[in-house]
Every structure is written in structure tokens, then in C-alpha cells.
Amino acid sequence: IGEYRLETVQEYMYHIRNNAEQSVRNLLRDVAKRRGTKLSARDYLDDGSPIQAQVSIDEEKGSAVIDFEGTGPELRGNLNAPISVVHSAVIYCMRAMLDVDIPLNAGCLVPIEIKIPEYSLLSPSHTAAVCGGNVLTSQRIVDVVLKAFNAAAASQGCCNNLTFGQGGKDKDGVVKEGWGYYETIAGGSGAGPGWHGTSGVHCHITNTRIGDVEILERRYPVLVHEFSIREGSGGKGKWNGGCGVVRDLEFLEEIRVSILSE
């Protein structure tokens, strides 16, 4: 700002945003030419709850409406996803499908109108549990949107969240000092038209890296007996899906363990 002044910096911020908008509009026009203006896809959570997306593209304007009508109702568990998570998943997909190198920004959503049925699992009530929506349901939303655009097959479908530790409240409500460890376990990414999926990788919403085995074993009472590719788990086809992983842990002390996964 000191070198170029505030007005110039802000002007370039608008340029970046406008460029992202035009890039997505061009993407939508190209999809409309190749696949038509009406797209749809559906996938399911493990409990059978559907997530459905219907995409209507206006080729002339280069805009689209993504309507999640047909998605299942609010859940009693914690796999409900706030509207913000749905928007995050959609903007990620728009950016991921671009073949131009631009920074992710709000311009990617300008051409997109998102419709979500009220009190569905993607627009739950204010009292609904949503912990799993951010790290599980979000991945399934990405799978559905990419499927609708015929961009890529489904990936692992969740972030595979593993937590363990000691301490916290005991059965009497007494808080004991302790520690906690949290990791997301890798899986396979989906194949696409022209490429194989990648094995043992954190993809889409799992924007973290798993810790090194040597560091984990040095700092925590745990042994990692195996961390390997689960061969053959990705699915065979003209283009193969990426394989998942095997992660075999042995705890050397009494520990509380929890996994949030599909």
C-alpha cells in the first residue's frame, strides 16, 4: 500500500475477483456445450441419507443454479452440514474444475446460485448437531457436485477422523489433565476421464497432512505396526480409482479412542 497506494491495491483485488468470475462463467459455457444445460447427481451417506444436486446452466450468461432439492431431511446424528459448508464445497469444486491457475476467491461463486431445502441435512435447524458435517458430509457434497459435472469419480467420501488421548472428565465429572491427538487418515481419490485416481492421499476437504510415524511414536504412547496402501480397494476400470490405506496402531497405555468416519 505504501508503494502503490490503497486505491491501486483494491483495484487489483477487484481484478482478481472479476477474473475468477469470468473463468467460472467460461467453464459453465463449455460444460453446457459438451454435456447440455441440465445435470444431476446423487450419492448417499452410509445411513442411506441422499444428497442430490440438480444443475441448471444458462449458457448465454455463463451462470448456473445448483439445487439440492431431493436431499434427505435433517438427521438426529451429527452429519448435518451448515449452509456455509455447502457453499465451501461448491466453491472448491468450481475452482478445482478450472484449467487456469487463479487464486481461490469469492468471484468463483458469483455466477452460481445455490438452493438448499430448509430443514434438510444441508440446511438444518439451529439446534441440529453439525460436527460431522464439516469433515464427512462436506466430502460427499464434493463427490456429488463433481459427479454432476462428470469431472471425477467419488473419492473416499469422508476425512476419516481419528482421535485418541488421555485425561478430560472422568465418570464423576472430575477434570484430569491429559493430552489429545487428532489425525485424518488418507484414502483414495477418484479417477477421471483420462487419469487414474491417486492412492493414499488426502484429497478435497481433507486439507491436512498426517504426522510422520517417527514423530508420532516418539511423542505418544503408540506404535504404528503398518501404514500401507490397501491394494485393490480403489476399484478397477479403464481408469482405476485410487486405493485406500491400512493403518494399524498399538497403544501402549490405556487410552480413549474415537473415530468419526463413513
What sign for the dihedral angle of Cα 142, 147, 150, 153? positive
**236 vs 58 pLDDT, higher one:** 58
**What is the per-residue pLDDT across 187-231, written as a single tens digit (0 to 9) for each?**
999 999 899 999 999 888 877 788 899 999 999 999 999 999 999
* Pair 80, 128: CB distance under 8 Å: yes
Residue 249 pLDDT grade (very low, low, confident, very high; cuts 50, 70, 90)? very high
CA 229, 230, 235, 236: dihedral to nearest 10 degrees? 70
Band (pLDDT 50/70/90 cuts) for residue 129 is: very high
Q: Average pLDDT over the chain, rounded to whole?
A: 93
Is 172's pLDDT higher than 90?
Answer: no
State the average pLDDT over residues 115-128: 96
* 189 contacts 198 by C-beta, under 8 angstroms: yes
CB burial string 227-259: b at 16+ within 10 A, e below: bebeeebbbeeebbbbbbbebebeeeeebeeee
Q: Phi, psi at residue 44, to the nearest 5°?
A: -135, 145
Cβ pair 117, 32 in contact under 8 A: no
Question: Which residue's C-alpha cell is 452410509?
Answer: 46
Residue 169: predicted pLDDT: 85
Note the pLDDT of residue 159.
87
What's the whole-number mean pLDDT along residues 113-131? 96
Q: Fill in the DSSP letter of residue 218.
A: H
Question: Is the whole model's pTM more than 0.75, yes or no?
Answer: yes
Please classify residue 21 by burial: count the beta carbons closer than 10 Å to its beta carbon, then call 0-12 exposed, 13-18 middle and 19+ buried. buried
Chain-centroid distance of CA 211 in Å reads 20
pLDDT tens readout for residues 17-72 = 999 999 999 999 999 999 999 999 999 999 999 999 999 999 999 999 999 999 99
pLDDT at 209: 81
